[in-house]
Amino acid sequence: MSSGVFELVASGFKRSSEIPKDNDLYYRCADCNGVIPSVPTKNVGCECGNVFIDKDYWRLIVADLSKIEVVRKKTSQGL
């Protein structure tokens, strides 16, 4: 997915417990630009392994918190 499709919601987290999740939010890794849903249907992670969600235990694992962004898909507004 192109990064131009997403808008930044939040970044600069100190703990993974601060990172929000919702059906319309995604996590983008600043290392590999991988984007994964914050509420996945199965275990999922970015390509470089910095961000991983263990759905079975509802755990978010982030190796480097400075390299995770919470994003949302941009909505197209018809004019």
* 60 in a structural domain: yes
Question: Who has greater pLDDT, 63 or 2?
Answer: 63
Give this prediction's pTM: 0.88
Q: Is residue 78 part of a domain?
A: no
Kindly give, in sequence order, each residue whose CB lies less than 8 Å from that of residue 63, ignoring residues fewer than 6 positions away. 49, 50, 51
The predicted pLDDT at position 77 comes to 59
Mean pLDDT of the chain: 91
Structural domain contains residue 79: no
What is the arithmetic mean of pLDDT over 45-69? 95
65 residue type, one letter: L
Q: How confident is the model at residue 64 (pLDDT cuts 50, 70, 90)?
A: very high
Domain that holds residue 21: 3-73
Total number of domains constituting the chain: 1
